[in-house]
Amino acid sequence: MKEFELTADIRDELGSRASRRMRRDNRIPAVLYGAKKDTISLFLDANELNKKLENESFGSRVLTLGLQNQKEAVVLRALQRHPVNSRVIHVDFQRVSAIQQLQLRVPLRFINEEHSAAKRMGAVFSRLITEVEVVCLPKDLPEAISVDISEVEIGQTMHLSELTPPEGVTFTALSQGMDQGMISVSASRVLSAEDEDVDVEVGEEQPEDDSDAQLSDD
């Protein structure tokens, strides 16, 4: 399982002006809170963070945050992006306790589509969700959850209740009485050359309107 480490520094200057200066210098403002400790204002190197964000599981892992020669176990709790260019402009980290349950969203990985009979018949697979919220202890947090879709048939929707969670993991939606659809399969009808010929022939063989024929004779 891939582990992520990130370096942060204490942020002394606060306020919107200071934050804008940081972003111009390729630094991203952040905060660290939780575990009944003081909230700390931080900043991160934008290049380092963006590189880590390329991995889909970064937001669903327990991360190691290096801060002043110490290391903190944290999770990424919130990521704020610019509304126009989608650049990250602020990050929230939450400290992690080994004995306290986490509530996080983890990616779903749909596997074995190529082995599906429905796929061989030209079916279309529509992913209804791409991640699911789980509750578990940090040691049980999965990097992602695999969903085997090889047996899903045309016209069927596979629901969260059909998925067995990893040991120690609970799906939040199911515990709240909500059964989410994960993926649906529908038939794909491709118009064949024969279909097109039939359409043309039907159009050519339309009977003439009797009233038009009588008017032309007059």
CATH number, residue 160: 2.170.120.20
pLDDT at 14 over 90: no
State residue 189's pLDDT score: 60
pLDDT at residue number 15: 79
CATH number of 77's domain: 2.40.240.10
Do 15 and 58 lie in one domain? The reply is: yes
Q: Report the relative pairing of strands 88-95 and 102-111 from DSSP bridges.
A: unpaired
Tell me whether residue 210 is in a domain: no
Q: Which of 13-27, 88-102, 201-215 has the highest mean pLDDT?
A: 88-102
Domain contains 124:
yes
Average pLDDT estimate for 118-145: 93
Does 195 map to a domain? no
Query: Rounded to whole angstroms, how far apart are CA atoms 153 and 150?
Result: 9
Q: How many domains does the chain have?
A: 2
Instruction: Note whether 82 and 59 are same-domain residues.
Output: yes
Q: Is the pLDDT of residue 215 over 50?
A: no
Question: Domain end: 36, 68, 96, which one?
Answer: 96
Same domain, 36 and 85: yes
CA separation for the pair 4, 57 (Å, rounded): 10
Task: Please count the other Cβ atoms lying within 10 Å of the Cβ belonging to residue 183.
Answer: 19
Tell me, yes or no, whether 201 lies in a domain: no
The answer to whether the beta carbons of residues 150 and 113 sit under 8 Å apart is yes
Same domain? 123 vs 73 = no
User: With bands split at pLDDT 50, 70 and 90, how would you rate the model's confidence at 194?
Assistant: very low
H or E, element range at 48: helix 46-53
In a shared domain, residues 157 and 178: yes
Segment 3-32 mean pLDDT: 87
Tell me: do 9 and 83 sit in the same domain. yes
43 contact partners, CB below 8 Å, separation of at least 6: 8, 9, 11, 22, 27, 28, 29, 30
Domain finish residue from 46, 79, 96 = 96
More confident site: 117 or 192: 117
- Separation CA 33–CA 104 (nearest Å): 16
pLDDT at 134 (0 to 100):
96
Q: Are residues 127 and 72 in the same domain?
A: no
Q: 61 with 141: CB under 8 angstroms? A: yes
164: helix, strand or coil: coil
pLDDT of amino acid 192 = 36
- Domain span at 180: 103-186
Q: Is the pLDDT of residue 36 over 90?
A: no
Residue 214 pLDDT exceeds 50? no
Q: For the full predicted model, state whether its pTM sits above 0.85.
A: no
Bridge pairing between strands 157-159 and 27-34: unpaired
Q: Which residue has the higher pLDDT, 198 or 55?
A: 55
Question: Are residue 109 and residue 45 in the same domain, yes or no?
Answer: no
Instruction: Output 73 or 213, whichever has higher pLDDT.
Output: 73
Read off the pLDDT band of 22 (50, 70, 90): confident
Binned at pLDDT 50, 70 and 90, residue 198 comes out as very low
pLDDT, mean of residues 174-183? 95
The pLDDT assigned to 195 comes to 42
Q: Is residue 154 part of a domain?
A: yes
Do residues 90 and 139 both lie within one domain?
Answer: no
Domain-located, residue 193: no
Q: How far apart are CA 39 and CA 160, in angstroms?
A: 36
Residue 215 lies inside a defined structural domain of this protein: no
Token readout for 118 is 């429905």
Q: Is residue 161 part of a domain?
A: yes
**Shared-domain flag, residues 90 and 172:** no
